[in-house]
């Protein structure tokens, strides 16, 4: 099966996309096809683009019910809101763990997007940062202060650069893999080994562009390594500490799905279904209650360490496990104890 390929470029008013349907593409309405491939774009937004004649298949304007077939070339132009490229400073409360003249360490809550993008133009961490700090340096992607990021529904620690020198120094540390990043994750299934390492190139999925896949032969994607050790077992799920050697998009989420232990309630990777356990109605109700308490993937960036760009001293930060994950873990502890009685 050949892959879907994506080119994205941005100008002042529009985002341009190009997709090539894979060899194994089954007939699928073009609006549904695009919903699988354009992150944060609503169906209404896609249908508006179709009505405006901004969706072409093999260079021909199509309607929403047009069926995509293998090797079709799909081009899309989506209009930005007028203020898209004007980053607006917003007075958003930030949980600042540490700050000095060079950098800020922030504990990001789940649900907050790190930087503006399609479908998320305000309320992001960057909007709050530029309100808090004037003249943040921008990286190559024009994202003020950022040297790394975490997913919207992942909570935890981020370091933000306040000067050009700090940005360069910190970015090099992430590139050279000299930072320390530890995450806590709750994964489906009883992971057999007490500790282990997951290695496999990570690249965008050929079947769903919103997912990342693991490619063992190394011909596609980027080298990725995740070390893990078991912290606590709850019969049908396992709490693990993950230490990142590399920092790829969705690395922990993709790696754990690859080894058969998708993260708990990770909707994008299928973890919002009951993947391990019994068929009892009471168990299903219990898991549903856990999902309500923790309405996101069970992943928290708990520990962050790096060399300070000016003092050259090692800085190490640790964060509390957020309440939604804590409450979910308590429910699993109680469930496991009652199972043993």
For 207-223, the DSSP string reads: S-TTSEEEETTSSSSB-
Name, in order, each residue with C-beta under 8 angstroms of 255's C-beta and a sequence gap of 6 or more.
Answer: 198, 200, 202, 214, 224, 226
Q: Token pair of 136, please?
A: 């943040």
Q: Checking DSSP bridges between strand 73-79 and strand 60-61, what pairing results, if any? A: unpaired
151 is catalytic: yes
Strand partners, 159: 105
Collapsed DSSP state (helix, strand, coil) of residue 157 = strand
Rounded to 5 degrees, what are φ and ψ at 254?
-70, -40
- Residue 104 to residue 4: CA distance in whole angstroms: 38
Counting Cα atoms < 13 Å in the Cβ hemisphere of 156 gives 24
C-alpha radius of gyration, the chain, whole number: 21
Strand partners, 148: none
Counting Cα atoms < 13 Å in the Cβ hemisphere of 334 gives 10
Which of 31, 59, 101, 151 is the catalytic position? 151
- Residue 90 to residue 104: CA distance in whole angstroms: 17
Strand partners, 56: 61, 75
Residues carrying an active site annotation: 151
């Amino acid at each position: 099966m050949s892959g879907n390929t994506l080119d994205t470029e941005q100008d002042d008013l529009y985002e341009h996309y190009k997709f090539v349907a894979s060899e194994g593409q089954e007939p699928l309405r073009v609006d549904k096809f695009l919903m699988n491939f354009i992150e944060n774009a609503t169906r209404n937004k896609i249908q508006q683009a179709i009505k405006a004649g901004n969706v072409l298949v093999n260079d021909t304007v199509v309607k929403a019910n047009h069926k995509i077939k293998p090797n079709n070339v799909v081009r899309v132009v989506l209009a930005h809101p007028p203020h898209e490229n004007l980053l607006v400073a917003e007075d958003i409360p930030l949980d600042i763990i540490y700050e000095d003249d060079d950098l800020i360490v922030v504990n990001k809550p789940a649900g907050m997007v790190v930087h503006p993008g399609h479908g998320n133009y305000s309320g992001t961490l960057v909007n709050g940062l530029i309100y808090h700090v004037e003249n943040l340096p921008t990286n190559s992607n024009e994202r003020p202060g950022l040297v790394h990021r975490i997913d919207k529904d992942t909570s935890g620690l981020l370091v933000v650069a306040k000067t050009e020198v700090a940005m360069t120094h910190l970015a090099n540390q992430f590139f050279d893999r000299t930072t320390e990043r530890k995450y806590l994750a709750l994964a489906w299934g009883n992971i057999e080994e007490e500790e282990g390492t997951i290695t496999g190139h990570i690249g965008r999925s050929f079947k769903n562009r919103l997912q990342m896949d693991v490619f063992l032969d190394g011909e596609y994607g980027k080298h990725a390594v995740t070390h893990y050790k078991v912290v606590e077992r709850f019969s049908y799920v396992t709490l693990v500490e993950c230490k990142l050697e590399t920092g790829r998009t969705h690395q922990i989420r993709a790696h754990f799905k690859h080894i058969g232990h998708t993260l708990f309630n990770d909707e994008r990777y299928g973890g919002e279904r009951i993947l391990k356990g019994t068929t009892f109605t009471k168990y299903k109700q219990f898991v549903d209650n856990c999902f309500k308490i923790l309405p996101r993937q069970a992943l928290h960036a708990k520990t962050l360490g790096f060399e300070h760009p000016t003092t050259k001293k090692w800085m190490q930060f640790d964060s509390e496990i957020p309440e939604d994950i804590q409450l979910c873990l308590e429910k699993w502890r109680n469930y496991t104890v009652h199972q043993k009685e």
